[in-house]
Each structure stands twice: as C-alpha cells, then as structure tokens.
Amino acid sequence: MKVYVVQAATSGQKPVASKARILFASLIGTTIEFFDFYIYATAAVLVFPHLFFPSSDPTSATLQSLATFAIAFFARPVGAAVFGHYGDRIGRKATLVAALMTMGLSTVLIGLLPTYAQVGVVAPLLLALCRLGQGLGLGGEWGGAVLLATENAPKGKEAWYGMFPQLGAPIGFICATGSFLLLSDFLTEDQFFTWGWRIPFIASALLVFVGLWVRLRIHETPAFQKTLERKERVSMPLAAVFTEYKTQLVLGTIAALATFTLFYIMTVFSLSWGTAAAGLGYTRQQFLPVQMLGVVFFGLLIPVSAVLADRFGRRNILLGTALGICAFGFLLPVLFVADQLFGVLAFSIIGFSLMGMTYGPLGTALAELFPTAVRYTGSSMTFNLGGIVGASLAPYIATALATSYGTASVGYYLSIAGLLTALALFAIPARPRTDMTSHGQPAK
C-alpha cells in the first residue's frame, strides 16, 4: 500500500487508558447512537405517518415514513467517508466525539419539529433533513467505536473486546422501545400524539452529554499511535480503500447483508406489519413487549458469539449463522401470524438470537479486513454500504411483499439475503492478512 510521510503528532511515552474505561466509552457511545436511531425507527411506524404526512391514505403515509427512515442508510456511507477520513488521519478519539455530537443534535431537533398540520409539506422535508444528520453521525460512529475496542484488545480477545460496542445495539433498542411503551401506558392517545412522542428525542440530549464526558477522557488506541510513529498515515484513506482493497470492500459489504436485512425485518417491518390493521392486528401494548423480550436474547447471544468467534474464528461463526438465517426465512410465515401471540414470541426469540450470533463478531471481522492506516474508513464504509444493501429498503420491500404476496415472500427475501452472505463469507479467507492490535499475532 502506498503511504505518505507525515509528521507524527505525538512524542514520548503514550498515555494508556484503562481497559474498563475504553470498553465503557465504546459501549456508551454506540448505545446512545442506536437509541437515537431506534427511536426514529419506532416513531416512523407509530407516529410520523400520522403527524408528518397527509393522512388520507394510511398505507401511503406509512410507506412515505419508511422512505424517510431509509434516508439515513444512504447518508451513512457519506458519514463513514467523512469521519473515516479524519479517524484515519487525526485519530479515533476526536472523530468519535464529533460523530456523537452530530447524531445527538439531529435527534434533539426531531423532537422540536413542527407537524404537517402546522407547516404542511415543510414538516416531512425537515424530518428528512434531520434523519440525514442521524445517518451521517451513525456512519462515523460505528467504525470508530469498534476500533476503539479492538485496537486495545489483548491477544486472542479481539472478538470479545469488539462485541462491547455491538452491545450498544440491543441496549439502545430496549431503551428506545421501552420509552415508547412507557409513554403508551402512562399517556392517553391524544397526549401521546400531541407531545408525548417528543420526549425520547429531546431527552436524548442528556445521554449525549454523558457520552461526550466519557469519550473526552480516553486516549488514542495503541494501533493508531504506532501508525503515527511509523509515519504510515495515507493522504486519502477513501481512495486507498477503493483502489487497493476493493475485494475486501465488496465481500465485507455482502457479508453484512443478512445481518442488516434480518434486523430491520425483525424490528421495523415486524412492528409495522404486526400492529397494522391490514397486517396481524396486534396492539402496541401487545407487540412491543414481545419485541423487547426478543432483543434481550439478541443482547445475551452477542457475548456468546464473541467467545465462540475468538475460539473458532470469526468467519466460521458468521458463516454458520448465515445458514441459520436462511433456514429461519422458511419459518417466518409459520410463526409470524395473527391471533397466535406465542408463535410471534417464538419468531422474535429465534430471529433475535440469530441476530446476536451474527452481530457479535461482525465488527471485528470487518475491521480485520483492513490495515490500521485505512481501517476506520474501510470498516465503516463496508458496514454502512451493507446497511444500504441490506437495511435501507428492507422494511419498505418487506411491507410491499407482504401486502402483495403474503409473509411467506418476506421469508424468501430473508433467506436469499442469508444465502448471499454465506457465499461472501465463504470467499473471505479464514485468516485475513492484517493484525488488529499490531502485536504481531495473526488474526483468526
């Protein structure tokens, strides 16, 4: 790889933060980011179709709301490119702080927006703009948080450390769903739609302050410090990724496909279809606790998958789980049905358990594909391009399929995503060339 000589920004003995502080900083940031991201996903189903779009056609309003939900996924690679550039050039710490501020400000502004009844078509335009900001922030957040953990990992514990930022997804989801469930229980329908839905968005400002305080107290990763010392930083990390690591970028993107498709079918689509009168017809109070229980299994399986990934290899665990997702697609129409809440519960537990098994090792596996000098950009672009392919339109496509052909077609859609991911993982070498921690041991 062509490198450009630059002056190292540090000298002398490098400060090293405690492992606990590093892991907490990676966890708290992604928890906040995913909480912000998921409250939008929940509101996109329950609130925005009623308040930010014309209500003459409920189905059309829901699809329009889901379209604004998709905007963030197209913004995430832009965020990955911008924040990744600075993450690889000036360091992980400063970039993570900037990404968290971008996400937090966008989320708080959503809670302050006027509705369609107040300002007409301006309302969905402002909503889309704020969603764009969320996508930019999360696009820069994920890669940096994973590197903060994995580039500080001791030998043989890369996946274990890398799963801490991944835990932010289920924790953030439980907090987001729980907040809407509590609001539904304690507020009337009129209060909820008048002002109650705004509370989670505005209250996220408090979480952002906590996250910023923690991240400002950490130091750079040893791997990035070594890059400075060796004067190995590249001038344009994004150009290097697209010219010198195209194969890793393409295979990594497809390897993340099933993870994204599964998650957004299990969350946004299932909530929308499960609570719609034209779908399964469950109430919010019935369906949200079922989803939350499933997410608990999501969280529990992340550390399990990390332990297995450190022992048997990241690719092997991801490959087996991708095949499990293929099989789960055929179970979807059997379990996800009306008037059988127990079946829906089984659907939720199985689906989210598979999500935990694939999500736990994914961050480490994608980061291992790239060397330190372009790792922030490369892993972030791979993850977020996977989001475009696998998640951006997944709720929209799944809803359209279910409406026209029934839920069996949604299951086939998921199985195809699992198969494509399995093929990409099979093509990725079991032992990537790069070493995450720069300690000299080969990655698994």
pLDDT tens sequence across 153-209: 888 888 899 999 899 888 988 888 888 888 888 888 889 888 999 999 998 888 888
Please check whether residue 135 is in contact with residue 387, taking contact to mean a CB–CB distance below 8 angstroms. no
Topology of the domain covering 19-427: Growth Hormone; Chain: A; (1.20.1250)
Looking at 208-217, 228-237, 397-406, which range is the least confident one? 228-237
Give 112-135 pLDDT, tens digit per residue.
999 988 988 898 899 889 989 988
CA angle 104, 133, 196 (to 5 degrees): 55
- pLDDT value for 206: 87
Task: Give the highest mean pLDDT range of 21-25, 40-44, 106-110, 234-238.
Answer: 106-110
Angle ∠(280,284,287) on CA atoms, nearest 5: 60
- Cβ-in-10-Å burial (0-12, 13-18, 19+) of 226 comes to middle
Q: How far is Cα 34 from Cα 37, in angstroms, rounded to an integer?
A: 5
Burial 38-77 (b: 16+ CB within 10 A, else e): bbbbbbbbbbbbbbbbeeeeeeebbbbbbbbbbbbbbbbb
Cα–Cα dist 115/117, whole Å: 5
Q: What pTM, to 2 d.p., does this model score?
A: 0.81
DSSP string, 4-48: -----S--SSPP---HHHHHHHHHHHHHHHHHHHHHHHHHHHHTH
Spans of all domains in the chain? 19-427
| Residue whose C-alpha is closest to residue 265's, from 329, 186, 359, 201 | 329
Backbone φ and ψ for 180, nearest 5 degrees, come out as -70, -35
pLDDT tens-digit map of 138-149: 888 888 888 888
Residue 218 has pLDDT above 80, yes or no: no
**CA 134 to CA 143: how far, in whole Å?**
15
Q: For tokens 């399990």, name the residue.
A: 304
Count other C-beta atoms under 10 Å from residue 250's C-beta.
14
User: What is the model's pLDDT at position 444?
Assistant: 39
pLDDT exceeds cutoff 70 at 439: no
Tell me how far apart the alpha carbons of residues 27 and 412 are, in angstroms, rounded to a whole number. 34
- pLDDT tops 90 at residue 225: no
CA torsion sign, 249 to 250 to 251 to 256? positive
